[in-house]
């Protein structure tokens, strides 16, 4: 796992032209497409659901990295799995001690399972669960909106999480990632980066993606 995975978030893309946006990402070197699902309860914003993931699947040839910022994620995993997600990440704060159960539901569909933590959640809280997951998603902003400022303290959690790992687990950061904050993340051992605003406001997507690889 030497290469950094770049997962542009379509939250900042043109929703009227999603097929073109996906093609643009694929052609310019994105590794995954990050899909932000928000329910207006777990976070104060509403975005998209499984039918949109199903539509994206038809036009997308790279993995769909689905980030569920929703309450009761276990109720919706089937829909998102059957819609064609490759990775489903849920929030620890939404399920707490039910984490192993939720991971097992995701894995029953033969897809990767991720656990995400918000800025106020300490890495110790997920210590017992990290080796059950395929990916740990560290939020480096409060989840809910694109275009927020990166919180360096949050990226440091990767060091603790790595110390708990006994197997290869991807550590992904999400929120406020640009070419500068990407360097900070990589220094702490993060090997997958989500970026919305930085990529979609750039005039050259290829250069923006490459600049995150460093
Ligand atoms: C925020 C989402 C992010 C968001 C990142 O709640 O989980 O994936 O799209 O956006 P930027 O890169 O603009 O901070
Ligand atoms: Zn996200």
Q: Answer yes or no: 174 catalytic.
A: yes
Q: Of residues 31, 65, 134, 174, which has the active-site annotation? A: 174
- Is the beta carbon of 140 within 6 A of some atom in ligand 1? no
Q: In terms of Cα–Cα distance, which of 81, 85, 69, 84 is closest to 36?
A: 69
pLDDT-based confidence at 123, cuts 50/70/90?
A: very high
Dig out the tokens for 56 from the structure: 């994206």
Q: Answer yes or no: 14 catalytic.
A: no
- Is the beta carbon of 34 within 6 A of some atom in ligand 1? yes
Mean pLDDT (the chain) is: 98
For 112-121, give one letter per residue: b (16+ CB within 10 A) or e: bbbbbbbeeb
Rounded average pLDDT over 153-175: 98
Rounded average pLDDT over 155-167: 98
Q: How far is CA 117 from CA 69, 71, 92, 94, in A?
A: 10, 14, 6, 10
How far, in Å, is the centroid of ligand 1 from the Cα of 61?
Answer: 22
Domains in the chain, CATH or no CATH each: 5-213 (3.20.20.70)
Q: Of residues 14, 31, 36, 168, which has the active-site annotation? A: 36
Dig out the tokens for 168 from the structure: 């290869």
Q: What is the pLDDT of residues 30-57, one digit of tens each?
A: 999 999 999 999 999 999 999 999 999 9
- Is the beta carbon of 138 within 6 A of some atom in ligand 1? no
pLDDT given at position 12: 98
- Is the beta carbon of 123 within 6 A of some atom in ligand 1? no
Rounded average pLDDT over 85-101: 99
Q: How many residues does the chain have?
A: 214
- Is the beta carbon of 143 within 6 A of some atom in ligand 1? yes
Residue 2 pLDDT exceeds 90: no
Residue 121 pLDDT exceeds 60: yes
Question: Which atom of ligand 1 is nearest the CA belonging to 11?
Answer: 9
The number of the ligand nearest the C-alpha atom of 9 reads 1
How far, in Å, is the centroid of ligand 1 from the Cα of 37?
Answer: 11
| Distant-in-sequence, close-in-space partners of 123: CB < 8 Å, separation ≥ 6 | 117, 157, 160, 161, 164
pLDDT given at position 1: 42
What gap in Å lies between CA 191 and CA 186, rounded to an integer?
A: 6
- Is the beta carbon of 196 within 6 A of some atom in ligand 1? yes
Question: Which atom of ligand 1 is nearest the CA belonging to 175?
Answer: 14
């Amino acid at each position: 796992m030497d290469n950094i995975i770049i997962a542009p978030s379509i939250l900042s893309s043109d929703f009227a032209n999603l097929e073109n946006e996906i093609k643009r990402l694929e052609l310019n070197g994105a590794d995954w497409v990050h899909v932000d699902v928000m329910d207006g309860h777990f976070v104060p914003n509403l975005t998209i659901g499984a039918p949109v993931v199903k539509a994206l699947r038809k036009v997308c040839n790279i993995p769909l990295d689905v980030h569920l910022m929703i309450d009761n994620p276990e109720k919706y995993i089937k829909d998102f799995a059957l819609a064609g997600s490759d990775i489903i990440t849920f929030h620890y704060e939404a399920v707490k001690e039910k984490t192993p159960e939720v991971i097992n539901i995701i894995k029953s569909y033969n897809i990767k399972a991720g656990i995400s933590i918000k800025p106020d959640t300490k890495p110790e809280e997920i210590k017992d669960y990290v080796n059950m997951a395929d990916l740990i998603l560290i939020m480096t902003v409060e989840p809910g909106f694109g275009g927020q400022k990166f919180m360096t303290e949050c990226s440091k959690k990767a060091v603790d999480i790595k110390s708990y790992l006994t197997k290869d687990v991807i550590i992904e950061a999400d929120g406020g990632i640009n070419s500068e904050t990407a360097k900070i993340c990589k220094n702490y051992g993060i090997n997958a980066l989500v970026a919305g605003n930085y990529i979609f406001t750039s005039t050259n997507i290829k250069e923006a993606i490459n600049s995150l690889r460093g």
